[in-house]
Amino acid sequence: MKNKTTKLVIILMVGLVFPLILTSNFNFSSESNSKIIKPEVSGGYTESYIHITGGNWSSTASSKPWCYFDNGYYIIENVTIDASSSPTGSGIFIESSAVFFIIRNCTIYNAGGGVLDAGIRLNTASNGQIYNNTCFNNGKYGIVLYFYCDDNIISGNVVTNSQYVGLYLVSTCNNNDIIGNDVNNNSNSGISLYNNCNNNNITGNTARDNGNRGIQLHTTCNSNTFSGNIVNDNNYGIDITTSDNNYFTKNEVYENSQSGIYLSGSENNNITENNLDTNEKYGIEIKSSSIWNNITRNTVNDNTLIGIYLQTTSDNNLIENNTINRNDLGILLDQSDNNNVTDNILHDNSRCILEIASTGNIIINNDCTSTTVQEPIFIDGIATGVGAHNWTWAINQGLCTGSGTKELPYVIENLKISGFGVMKGIEIRNSDVYFIIQDCEIYHCTTGGIYFNNVTNSQLIENNCSNNYQGINLYDKCDFNEIIGNVANDNSNHGIFIGDYCDNNTISYNIASYNDEAGIVLAGGDLSSYNNTISENTVNNNNYGIRFGEGDFHFNKISGNIIKSNNIGISIEDTGCSNNSIYNNIFLENGIHAIDNGIDNKWNISTIGNYWDNHTGPDSNKDGIVDNPYNYIGGSAGSIDYLPIAEGVSGNPLPPGVIAVIIVVSVAGGLGLIGAVYMFLIKRRTTK
């Protein structure tokens, strides 16, 4: 009876499956999309790995339920593989195979982290179709084709959370179609072609949220076509390095944190009809002797810094019929010669086209709207000769007024300057004349919005130096300068930097907040800076509020500053820092209020120390000083504030003798920008 029942079940199963096989519609025409066949409907299977070489397809098909031969194809389908115990390191490993095969509807995860481990790995395997698979959480690659893998179709797969590259072609893999894959959230690149992979078609894929590149070509990957891909929210969108004669068209590349398309050392590539919008630096970046490339009919809008940027001997390129709107700078040619920039539309960029140290470029018939920013300024006070950028040149250019005397200083004022992410804003060197820079807005600059080297007798007043690498940089041998009432916020390094041999400077009433490193820093290597005054500044929400970095800093005064919500409020890091005075500062809500590794630094004067929000009482005699010293200053010095300021009356968080912090906003140059925020600590009159 049992045998009859078993036979009946088998007959019923065959009766169900056989019509499906008969009615399956397979089409193997030469067109890429038509080569993809529809998946078989069958049961699900579980394995720890699959390993097939060219000689064992037949035995696998005869012994495994998930593999069979149909209409000229070996088919693997509907297998779930946890490859954590795979002896090959990969989930499905096909090698030395030239037969026609299909891998479809499989799920592979937990492959190893070895050199070529992957969810699906092909070694010297051709004529395969890999589609509708899911590869996730694999230790190296999601899908890898290695060493003469030709004429394969990789389509409709989801490849996520690989620890290196999602979909990787390496070492002479040619004539493959990579179509319609979703390759996201991989640690390095989404799709990568490396080392002599040629004539591949990469179409209709989505590559987003990958840790480095969305799509990458590297090392003589030539004559490939990339079309209709969506590439967003990666570090770089599409990266072409030392690869030639590739064609990029109708790709959507946006919101990447560096460049939309990046070319380095690459020739004769065609980049046409792509949309390259809202990337955080550049729409298209071409560098390192990339020559004879055609950049045509692209839309390059709303990128934060530069629409199209050529640099470092990128010569003889064609930039034609592009629409380049609402970037900080439309086109920059930097040390790049003999390029043709023709018939482009450049509207509403802060500046249209700029050349730096470039010759022989043809720039004609471009539709540019008016410029709204001043290009960066460079002045060398001792420069001579024709065209020397000295103070006389600056006067003749209309960049400043005055005569450079104490009574009538040179004045640079009311300018809006962008460094476009590649230059300093105002750079002045070797100057001892008297000058003032005031009411300027300076942004998107490298090294410094305002950068001085060997400069004395300057005043920087009410400038906004935010959104640069460093806001204000006194780099070397800068003495007797005054930095008063400036804003230096949201810089990717420091707000205000005081460097080597910079003595007797005054840094007061500035706001230096939300910088990635320090609000205000003194850092000079092994060199020294003396007698600087850092007072009445607001330094909030930085990594460091005020930092004494590497170097010997002596007899500097840090007083009256509001230091709030930094990871570290004040840090004195070098044992060579000595005899600095730190008093009357307000420490609020910092992760660590203070660290002192120096020698003999004073954290109070004879009458008052600092206000520490974690040590505000008791004050039994109501003299405004906490009864017990503040013993919580970290570091090797063992420093103590012997006169910590007590909580004010009725829980007022301000120190005694200070009844208000008044913020006065000044509008700079009619630009509607906060030119400076002055803080006045209004002292309460005391009567005896």
What does the longest C-alpha to C-alpha distance in the chain come to? 117
What are 512-566's pLDDT values in tens digits?
Answer: 999 999 999 999 777 789 999 999 999 999 999 999 998 899 999 999 999 999 9
What are 297-332's pLDDT values in tens digits?
Answer: 999 999 999 999 999 999 999 999 999 999 999 999
Q: Which residue has the higher pLDDT, 406 or 681?
A: 406
Q: Which residue has the higher pLDDT, 614 or 20?
A: 614
**Number of other residues whose CB lies within 10 A of the CB of residue 686:** 8
Q: Which residue has the higher pLDDT, 489 or 8?
A: 489
* Confidence category of residue 663, pLDDT binned at 50, 70, 90: very low
What are 75-108's pLDDT values in tens digits?
Answer: 999 999 999 999 999 999 999 999 999 999 999 9
Average pLDDT in the chain: 90
- Tell me if 552 sits within 8 A of 528, measured CB to CB: yes
Please indicate, yes or no, if residue 313 is contained in any of the structural domains: no
Please indicate, yes or no, if residue 482 is contained in any of the structural domains: no
Q: Which residue has the higher pLDDT, 173 or 666?
A: 173
- Please return the burial class of 657, using the count of CB atoms within 10 Å of its CB with bins 0-12, 13-18 and 19+: middle
Q: Tell which of 179, 203, 234 closes a domain.
A: 234
* Confidence category of residue 653, pLDDT binned at 50, 70, 90: low
5: DSSP letter: H
Please indicate, yes or no, if residue 285 is contained in any of the structural domains: no
CATH number of the domain that 176 lies in? 2.160.20.10
pTM of the model: 0.85
What is the average pLDDT across 332-348? Answer: 98
d(CA 204, CA 209): 17
Pair of tokens at residue 226: 């990339």
Q: Tell which of 170, 201, 234 closes a domain.
A: 234
Kindly state the percentage of the chain with pLDDT values over 70.
88
Q: Which pLDDT score, from 0 to 100, does residue 654 have?
A: 55
Q: Which neighbouring-strand residues pair with 428?
A: 379, 452
What is the average pLDDT across 473-490? Answer: 98
Q: How many domains does the chain have?
A: 2
* Confidence category of residue 70, pLDDT binned at 50, 70, 90: very high
Q: Which pLDDT score, from 0 to 100, does residue 128 have?
A: 98
Please indicate, yes or no, if residue 564 is contained in any of the structural domains: yes
Q: Which pLDDT score, from 0 to 100, does residue 306 have?
A: 98
Please indicate, yes or no, if residue 519 is contained in any of the structural domains: yes
In sequence order, which ranges of 361-443 are alpha helices (DSSP H)?
A: 391-396
Q: Which pLDDT score, from 0 to 100, does residue 15 have?
A: 41
pLDDT exceeds cutoff 70 at 661: no
Can you give the residue range of the structural domain that contains 535? 514-656
Q: Which of 32-46, 110-124, 468-482, 630-644 has the lowest mean pLDDT?
A: 32-46
- 456: three-class secondary structure by DSSP: strand
Please indicate, yes or no, if residue 420 is contained in any of the structural domains: no
What are 346-395's pLDDT values in tens digits?
Answer: 999 999 999 999 999 999 999 998 889 999 999 999 999 999 999 999 99
Pair of tokens at residue 100: 């026609």
Please give the angle made by the CA atoms of 506, 428 and 536, to the nearest 5 degrees: 20
Q: Tell which of 184, 208, 234 closes a domain.
A: 234
What are 6-43's pLDDT values in tens digits?
Answer: 333 333 333 433 333 333 332 323 333 434 444 444 34
pLDDT exceeds cutoff 80 at 162: yes
Please indicate, yes or no, if residue 27 is contained in any of the structural domains: no
Q: Which pLDDT score, from 0 to 100, does residue 475 have?
A: 96
Please indicate, yes or no, if residue 546 is contained in any of the structural domains: yes
